[in-house]
Amino acid sequence: MTQTAEGHTGGDTARPEMVTLTIDDTEVTVPKGTLVIRAAELIGVEIPRFCDHPLLDPVGACRQCMVEVEGQRKPMASCTVAATDGMVVRTQRTSEAADKAQHGVMELLLINHPLDCPVCDKGGECPLQNQAMTNGRPETRFQDTKRRFPKPINISAQVLLDRDRCILCARCTRFSKEIAGDPFIELLERGALQQVGIYTDEPFDSYFSGNTVQICPVGALTGASYRFRARPFDLVSSPQRVRALRVGMRAAHRPPARQGAAPDGRRRPAGQRGMELR
């Protein structure tokens, strides 16, 4: 079976060059340059990922999206590999090597990750929580002491940072640079000491600080006004227009489904502004 992703053209715009690749024995035709992880989505194949986001440049930071590519010696990150004509890709569904690689990455991510799920604001809509159930081991082999950081850190009056939960996906830092245009948050140090932080002489005073909280996949960044107020499954979503933007974006406002839950925009702390970033 072959599926095709048609390129949208208008006027005299040249039709994009198309390539056909095979993913898990299913052929799919996409514009040249399409990432493998996007091509897989077109045929309903969900590849686990944390750092990948359709609005951000690919970085391959988390390595959770590893797939097997025919002709390559080792699994590759599908969020950074562009589809080529004739490429044969096997995901965790059909490749033992890809499945083993994803299990290994998940085990490494959970070595230092705290068991905060019952109290974490992200619990219930956390990709790490969900993928740990599907790609994680039932028990840990790690016998040493988990790495710990002081927490929470108030990086602004509205945003708190819990570095124990951070998986270094760089979503927040890339969003600040590429979309918000105010890089107040950055990855500091290297190797095992790497962590998210802010500049000592500049607070995290971003117009889009609410979106920075929302785009974090694991609850390392939380809103002060929402913290410990409600669970994601207690809230409902309703679309709204974003008056601060010139483009036709839509914002998700989540009014409380029960008394005591503060209203927010896609779990956006009250008083913060931003747009919907799924």
In terms of DSSP H, where are the helices of 78-224?
96-111, 127-135, 171-175, 209-215
Residue 73: predicted pLDDT: 94
Give domain status of residue 156, yes or no.
yes
Q: Are residues 63 and 141 in the same domain?
A: no
In terms of DSSP H, where are the helices of 136-208?
171-175
Residue 261: predicted pLDDT: 39
Residues spanned by the domain of 225? 127-231
Residue 1: predicted pLDDT: 57
pTM: 0.79
Q: Are residues 101 and 185 in the same domain?
A: no
Taking a C-beta distance cutoff of 8 angstroms, is the pair 42, 30 a contact? yes
Q: What does the alpha-carbon distance between residue 63 and residue 105 come to, in Å, rounded to a whole number? A: 7
Supply the DSSP symbol for 256: B
Total domain count, the chain: 2
pLDDT tens track for 128-145: 999 998 877 777 888 888
* Banded model confidence at residue 157, pLDDT cuts 50, 70, 90: confident
Q: Across residues 177-189, what is the average pLDDT?
A: 90
Q: Are residues 153 and 200 in the same domain?
A: yes
pLDDT tens track for 33-49: 999 999 999 999 999 99
Query: Which of 109, 144, 168 is the last residue in one of the domains?
Result: 109
In terms of DSSP H, where are the helices of 112-216?
127-135, 171-175, 209-215
Q: What is the dihedral of CA 210, 201, 114, 269, to 10 degrees?
A: -20
Supply the DSSP symbol for 77: E
Residue 254: predicted pLDDT: 56
Q: What is the dihedral of CA 242, 243, 247, 248, to 10 degrees?
A: 50
Q: Are residues 102 and 162 in the same domain?
A: no
Type and span of the H or E element at 252: strand 250-253
Q: What does the alpha-carbon distance between residue 18 and residue 133 come to, in Å, rounded to a whole number? A: 37
* Banded model confidence at residue 242, pLDDT cuts 50, 70, 90: low
Q: Across residues 171-193, what is the average pLDDT?
A: 90
Give domain status of residue 237, yes or no.
no
Q: What CATH number does the domain containing 177 carry?
A: 3.30.70.20
Residue 264: predicted pLDDT: 40
Residue 140: predicted pLDDT: 80
pLDDT tens track for 147-156: 888 888 898 8
Q: Are residues 99 and 132 in the same domain?
A: no
Residue 262: predicted pLDDT: 38
